[in-house]
């Protein structure tokens, strides 16, 4: 699915073949045999349109902005404005407070997904070869992960300014640079590749590119969706633990 990887693979194959020809010619004491001219094609994106790769990645970035960046400020905003004390005096539980913060931004994120899909399909002509059910389900999982990250950041600081900066550095930039959206993960140095395994957007981008360009492939979609589900559970467990200590 990645044009850069395809070009690198072609270069390696041609280099090995050229070296073999030279060696065979030297052993036989004559000119090397004639070249084989391969006819290549790109799977899943035969027209090599860059937007077919970029639009799925942009959806992941947009979802990260809505889920993590916006929610990173909601509890910090309550502390800055002095309204958290009023919230704590009401007969509501920690779970109800968290739920009231999660639901609006989850719905906002899903609306953003719908608008992004509409723009990608109808305006830019990007194909969606997989099922919309799998796409929506994977997006809902990623949105929960992004909300969990944002809420965890918001519970760690009482400053909106600081929370926003942490969210940009800790969620948006990794989603932009280390998710496979811009740079191919397999071409990164080994330590950086290992770091990408803790970036939620890596799994979401892999799902999006598969569903958009290849179709419903369970061997790709299921493991990445499971990773997102696990990360969502971990982040919300940390958020609840931190919230009980902070406002419980």
pLDDT of residue 221: 92
Tell me the average pLDDT across 92-121. 86
Same domain, 208 and 130: yes
Higher pLDDT, residue 158 or 208? 208
Q: Give the model's pLDDT for residue 35.
A: 67
Percentage of the chain surpassing pLDDT 90?
A: 20
Instruction: Give the model's confidence band at 25: pLDDT under 50 very low, under 70 low, under 90 confident, else very high.
Output: confident
Task: Please indicate, yes or no, whether residues 72 and 114 belong to a single structural domain of this protein.
Answer: yes
Same domain, 30 and 52: no
Who has greater pLDDT, 222 or 169? 222
Same domain, 93 and 132: yes
Checking if the pLDDT of 225 tops 90, the result is yes
* Same domain (yes/no): 143, 239: yes
CB 52 within 8 A of CB 127: yes
Whether residue 139 is predicted with pLDDT greater than 90 in this model: the reply is yes
Q: Are residues 34 and 52 in the same domain?
A: no
Look up the domain containing 92 and give its range: 48-247
97 and 26 together in one domain: no
- 182 and 223 both lie in a single domain: yes
pLDDT tens digits, one per residue of 53-77: 888 888 888 888 888 888 888 777 7
In this prediction, residue 32 carries a pLDDT of 67
Overall number of domains in the chain: 2
pLDDT for residue 247: 56
Predicted structure pTM score = 0.78
Residues 100 and 212 placed together within one structural domain of the fold: yes
- The pLDDT, as a whole number, for residue 177 is 87
What is the pLDDT, as a whole number, of residue 231?
94
Query: How would residue 111 be classed by pLDDT, with cut points 50, 70 and 90?
Result: very high
pLDDT score for 127: 85
118 and 6 housed in the same domain: no
pLDDT of residue 85: 65
User: Are 114 and 138 part of one and the same domain?
Assistant: yes
Please check whether residues 78 and 165 belong to one and the same domain.
yes
Average model confidence (pLDDT) across the chain: 84
């Amino acid at each position: 699915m990645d044009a850069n990887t395809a070009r690198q693979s072609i270069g390696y194959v041609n280099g090995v073949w050229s070296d073999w020809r030279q060696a065979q010619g030297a052993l036989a004491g004559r000119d090397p045999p004639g070249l084989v001219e391969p006819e290549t094609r790109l799977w899943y994106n035969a027209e090599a349109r860059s937007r077919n790769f970029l639009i799925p990645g942009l959806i992941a970035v947009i979802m990260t902005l809505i889920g993590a960046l916006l929610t990173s400020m909601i509890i910090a905003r309550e502390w800055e404005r002095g309204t958290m004390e009023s919230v704590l005096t009401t007969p509501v539980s920690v779970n109800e407070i968290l739920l009231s913060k999660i639901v609006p931004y989850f719905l906002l994120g899903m609306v953003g997904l719908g608008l992004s899909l509409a723009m990608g399909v109808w305006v830019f002509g990007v194909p969606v070869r997989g099922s919309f059910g799998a796409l929506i389900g994977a997006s809902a999982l990623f949105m929960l992960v992004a909300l969990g990250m944002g809420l965890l950041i918001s519970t760690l600081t009482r400053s909106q300014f600081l929370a926003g900066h942490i969210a940009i550095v800790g969620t948006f930039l990794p989603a932009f640079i280390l998710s496979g959206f811009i740079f191919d993960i397999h071409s990164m140095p080994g330590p950086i590749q290992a770091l990408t395994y803790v970036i939620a957007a890596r799994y979401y981008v892999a799902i999006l590119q598969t569903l958009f360009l290849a179709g419903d492939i369970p061997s790709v979609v299921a493991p990445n969706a499971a990773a997102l589900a696990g990360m969502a559970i971990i982040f919300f467990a940390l958020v609840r633990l931190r919230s009980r200590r902070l406002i419980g």
